[in-house]
Amino acid sequence: MARVRRNLDVLASELSSHGFQFGFYPDGEEVPAYSGPLVPLTERQDETVRQLETVIGGAVPLSIVGLWKWVGAVCFVGYADDWPDYADPIWIEGPASSLNEFPDWKWRCQEGYQDGPFGLIIAPDVCHKDNVSGGAPYEIAVPNLGLDGALRNHSREYYLIDYLRNALAWGGFPGAEGADTPLPNWLMRTAKQLEPF
């Protein structure tokens, strides 16, 4: 995850130097409460993870705990001229989002509106990242004693580590694979030079 952080730092710097506008949806509207492309979590992060594991009654996969610890929260939502639509920019929510969502999920289950295991919120879906109404967020079902967790509500079958590898291979924008408008050459050259993990 330390390599993932260094790779994301490289991509964020490269995007900024080429005029990419972080924190704005492609339609120009600001992303609410945007704090930056990479936001280290506070020292309270370990306590938040413990609280989360207490309320869900079990473990969170080590992959997401490591990601939160070494990387923090990530949000590459932004725009630039001639950028592909629905590029699905990398976005990783911190543990507080899931902790805050748990009471609503529990109420929906009690009222019969929802069943199945709770999902850690990883990111909004590809449509919401373009400020368009879409589907359920990308999630990882918990409790989960595994090293990694499968993403729910994604169009592909991914575990978190695979998702991160694919996202970085596409410069942080995995939805651009097969898009009519390609990502810029400078970004793809940078992606090819990132550290493997």
8-40 pLDDT per residue, tens: 999 999 999 999 999 999 999 999 999 999 999
Task: Calculate mean pLDDT across residues 122-143.
Answer: 96
Q: How far is CA 167 from CA 50, 52, 118, 172, in A?
A: 28, 26, 25, 5
> Between vectors from CA 161 to CA 48 and to CA 123, what angle results, nearest 5°?
55
> For 10-30, b where at least 16 C-beta lie within 10 A, e where not — what string?
bbbebbeeeebebbbbbeeee
The pLDDT value given to residue 45: 81
172-186 pLDDT per residue, tens: 999 999 899 999 999
Give yes or no for residue 114 having a pLDDT over 90.
no
Q: How far is CA 184 from CA 12, 50, 84, 170, in A?
A: 14, 41, 10, 11
The pLDDT value given to residue 174: 97
User: Which range has the worst mean pLDDT, 7-21, 108-122, 137-151?
Assistant: 108-122
Crossing angle between the packed helical segments 2-17 and 185-192, to the nearest 10 degrees: 160
The whole-chain average pLDDT of the chain stands at 95
**pLDDT grade, residue 159 (50/70/90)?**
very high
**pLDDT grade, residue 41 (50/70/90)?**
confident
- Dig out the tokens for 127 from the structure: 């449509």
The pLDDT value given to residue 70: 94
Neighbours of 81 (CB within 10 A): 8
> Between vectors from CA 61 to CA 23 and to CA 139, what angle results, nearest 5°?
45
Residue type, 72: G
Pairing verdict, β 91-92 and 118-123: unpaired
The pLDDT value given to residue 43: 77
The pLDDT value given to residue 88: 97
68-108 pLDDT per residue, tens: 999 999 999 999 999 999 999 999 999 999 999 999 999 99
Burial class (CB in 10 A: 0-12, 13-18, 19+), 172: buried
Residue type, 71: V
- Dig out the tokens for 98 from the structure: 């899931």
- Dig out the tokens for 143 from the structure: 């409790």
The pLDDT value given to residue 119: 95
Considering only CA atoms, which of 167, 165, 164 is closest in space to residue 176? 167
Percentage above 90 pLDDT, the chain: 93
